[in-house]
């Protein structure tokens, strides 16, 4: 666990922030590469990348605050104030809140520019896997988003003074962050293949919704959450994320079936495998 990697004078380089920055830069590089391959203009895609990043951070923070209202009640300036604690930064984000805000911000921009929303989202779908690959390593180094106790041989314990140690002492925990990172790498590979060989507009993003929903629903069983993140539905106690996952899967399935019938991708318009088209 290394929440802070190093510092240069008063500037502290934290592991999660660094991994977030790396994922953004590599994501932009990926979009540039596939846009060049398929002869698409890069500038509007770069704008979408900025909107997704900024909107995603804002949405992730707001959703976290929404489910932790007692923590912020009477001191709402802490929502986005990086100087509200002894260390510079904002602690507490929720992935799905960020994804929702990123989608809304990008949707508004693409509609205003009269660009295809689903076609653009297809190109960004693999970058979610890339982001998870790196940012979940950042979570592991930071000691957040940790798992529940396990007797499996790869269980890990966190050092004294960390939040996992405060809750579970030196018990071995599921490395939930590394599960998510490995999943992110596999998701990147799978959706990159789908994007390269897609049969209809919206195929990659629809599959992303379904795959992400399935994984997120499952990972919640081995990841620790405070009581505020759980709901009571009859005798069940799902997390907010599990309920969002169900809706996300239904959305992805409906989008997949609808677009498969409505918008088949012309083979003549698709770039041949292994060949690049010059950028326009």
Domain containing 258: what range? 11-262
Of residues 256, 260, 9, 35, the one with CA closest to residue 126: 35
Is 6 inside any structural domain? no
Is 168 inside any structural domain? yes
Is 60 inside any structural domain? yes
Is 158 inside any structural domain? yes
Q: Higher-confidence residue: 152 or 100?
A: 152
pLDDT tens readout for residues 216-270: 999 999 999 887 777 777 777 888 889 989 999 999 999 999 999 987 775 434 5
Give the global pTM: 0.83
Is 105 inside any structural domain? yes
Is 3 inside any structural domain? no
pLDDT tens readout for residues 133-146: 999 999 999 998 99
β-partners of residue 147 are: 223
Q: Tell me, what's the pLDDT at 277? A: 45
pLDDT tens readout for residues 49-102: 999 888 888 887 777 777 666 665 665 555 554 444 444 445 567 667 778 888
Is 115 inside any structural domain? yes
Q: How many domains does the chain have?
A: 1
Is 220 inside any structural domain? yes
With vertex at residue 148, the alpha carbon angle to CA 140 and CA 219, rounded to the nearest 5 degrees, is 75
């Amino acid at each position: 666990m290394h929440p802070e990697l190093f510092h240069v004078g008063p500037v502290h380089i934290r592991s999660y922030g660094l991994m977030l920055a790396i994922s953004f830069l590599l994501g932009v590089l990926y979009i540039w590469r596939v846009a060049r391959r398929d002869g698409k203009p890069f500038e509007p895609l770069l704008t979408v990348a900025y909107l997704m990043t900024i909107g995603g951070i804002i949405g992730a923070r707001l959703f976290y605050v929404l489910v932790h209202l007692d923590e912020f009640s009477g001191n709402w300036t802490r929502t986005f104030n990086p100087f509200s604690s002894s260390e510079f930064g904002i602690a507490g984000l929720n992935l799905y809140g960020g994804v929702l805000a990123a989608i809304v911000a990008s949707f508004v921009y693409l509609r205003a520019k009269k660009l295809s929303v689903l076609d653009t989202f297809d190109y960004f779908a693999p970058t979610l896997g890339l982001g998870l690959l790196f940012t979940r390593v950042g979570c592991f180094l930071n000691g957040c988003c940790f798992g529940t106790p396990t007797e499996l041989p790869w269980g890990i314990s966190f050092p004294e003074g960390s939040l996992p140690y405060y809750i579970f002492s030196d018990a071995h925990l599921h490395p939930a962050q590394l599960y998510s990172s490995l999943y992110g790498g596999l998701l990147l590979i799978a959706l990159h293949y789908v994007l390269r060989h897609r049969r209809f507009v919206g195929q990659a993003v629809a599959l992303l919704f379904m795959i992400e929903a399935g994984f997120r629903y499952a990972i919640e069983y081995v990841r620790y959450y405070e009581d505020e993140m759980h709901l009571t539905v009859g005798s069940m106690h799902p997390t907010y994320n599990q309920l969002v996952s169900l809706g996300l899967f239904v959305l992805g399935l409906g989008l997949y079936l609808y677009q498969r019938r409505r918008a088949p991708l012309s083979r003549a318009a698709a770039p041949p495998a292994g060949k690049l088209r010059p950028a326009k």
